[in-house]
Every structure is written in structure tokens, then in C-alpha cells.
Amino acid sequence: MRRRRLLAAALLPALPLAARAQQAGDLRIAEPWTRAAGQSGTGAGFLTIANQGGAADRLIGASTPAARVTEIHTHVREGDVLRMRPVAAVEIPAGQTVTLQPGGFHLMLIGLLAPLIQGQTVPVTLRFERAGEVQVTLAVLPAGAGGPKAPAH
């Protein structure tokens, strides 16, 4: 039985570095990902932040060498139109989890310097008010991906 489990574990592909959770003080950052995109456009970064501490924190900025500018965005409904808008920060309340995801808060990678190619990774530095700077690696998923566990559209 033990031998079968070891064999099964050996046959499974290792989790890429991007899929592993990062701990930064009381913050646990998991499932960082992006979608494949061409060089001339923009990209978006997504991830989950769990605040396991007793004090709130805020995501106040981000940067990546893969784009000229990185901003924090959200979607705002204006009548029948959903528009993206930059925000100054994302609140991470104590004891709660916030997910940056399509249709909600996300990192906007503006002015890509090279294409985001499926299977590769993108380094990103997140800046938090309390936890400071945290390095994460976004896994590049297919262009239509809905997330690391969701099927492509």
C-alpha cells in the first residue's frame, strides 16, 4: 500500500513554484496566476490573500519587471456597463480572506514588455501596509482560464 502511494506521488507533476502558498507575517498568499497575453496588450494578476492575524492589513501596490506599470484595479458597474477602475488599496481584514479574481479586484499589468506565455511564470512584488514587500510568482495559464482550478472558457 505504501509503495503504491509513493509511486502515485512520484507520477504526479510537482506543483510549480507559482502554485505554492507564500507566508508574509500574518498573510498567506496562495494561487497566484495570470492568463496568457500578447506583448502589445495588458495582463491581469490574480491571487488569494488570507489574513491569519488579529490586525487588518492593506495591499497598497505591486510591481513586475514584465510590465511598464502595475496597478490595483476593481470592476465598477456604471449603468449596464462594467468598467475597470484603479484603486489605492485593497483592505485585508483580520481573520478574513480576500481573493483578487476576474470580475473583482485584480492586478493590472499595463504595457507588457514581452508576451505572457502559457506554462511560464511572472515575478510580482506585492506591497502591503503592514507586511511590507512580498515576492510572488504568477503561473501563466491559458488565455481563457478562469483560475488555477477552473476550466478555460
pLDDT surpasses 90 at 2: no
Q: Which of 99, 85, 94, 84 is nearest to 150 (CA)?
A: 99
Task: Indicate whether 5 belongs to any domain.
Answer: no
pLDDT at 21 > cutoff 50: yes
Residue 11 domain flag = no
Domain count, the chain: 1
Asked if residue 19 lies in contact with residue 136, where contact means CB atoms within 8 angstroms, the answer is no
pLDDT tens-digit readout, 25-58: 999 999 999 999 987 789 999 999 999 999 999 9
Domain housing 117: 17-141
Is residue 12 one of the residues assigned to a domain?
Answer: no
Q: Which domain CATH number covers 135?
A: 2.60.40.1890
Burial of residue 125 (CB within 10 Å: 0-12, 13-18, 19+) is middle
Confidence class of residue 75 from pLDDT cuts 50, 70 and 90? Answer: confident
The share of the chain scoring above pLDDT 90, in percent, equals 67
Asked whether residue 6 is assigned to any structural domain, the reply reads no
Query: In whole angstroms, what is the distance from residue 100 CA to residue 67 CA?
Result: 18
For residue 83, what pLDDT is reported? 87
Is 149 a member of any domain? no
Yes or no: say if 36 and 107 are a contact pair by the CB < 8 Å rule: no
The answer to whether position 106 is within a domain reads yes
Residue 63 inside a domain? The answer is yes
What mean pLDDT do residues 88-114 have? 97
* 132: in domain: yes
